[in-house]
Copies of this chain bind each other. A is one copy, B any other.
Amino acid sequence: MPNIGSACWAIAEGYIPSGSVSQDPALVSHETICILNAGERAAEIAITLYFEDREPVGPYRLSVGARRTRHLQFNHLDDPEPVPRDTAYASLIQSTEPIVVQHTRLDSRHPNIALLSTIAFPQG
């Protein structure tokens, strides 16, 4: 299997609305980071969050096993601190192994849902 991806990714967009029209967990507004580790070694990952008016927060640490994917909601991050709602942020994802990162937002503030997704930016 190929060792696909990059060890450093950035997502410039980040925003979790505090409101949702649905209480269905699948339809509450959320931001998801999708990570693929297609390689043969577990990836140790550190996420740093950047804000408009204060110093970065992190690292948030997680592992993605060899030959595994992980779809992580920013809503669920809480160590070192929860991600603030209704606040613009950006994120940097650094990994000990090559990974592929994609970003998706489900927005359910209004009586319908909207989805966006984009590949993150790989460095080098």
Contacts and interface: CB of A to CB of B under 8 A. Distances in A.
A76 interface: no
Given A69-B90, A113-B110, A113-B114, A10 B4 contact: yes
Interface string A7-22: 0101111110100001
A52 B68 contact: yes
Majority secondary structure of chain A interface residues (helix, strand, loop or mixed): strand
Interface in A61-82: 67-71
A97 interface: no
Oligomeric state, in copies? 4
A96 interface: no
A43 interface: no
A114 to B, nearest CB: 4
A90 B50 CA distance: 27
A122 to B, nearest CB: 7
B2 A123 contact: yes
B71 A50 contact: no
Closest 7 CB pairs of A and B: A69-B90, A12-B102, A116-B117, A36-B90, A12-B34, A71-B88, A112-B112
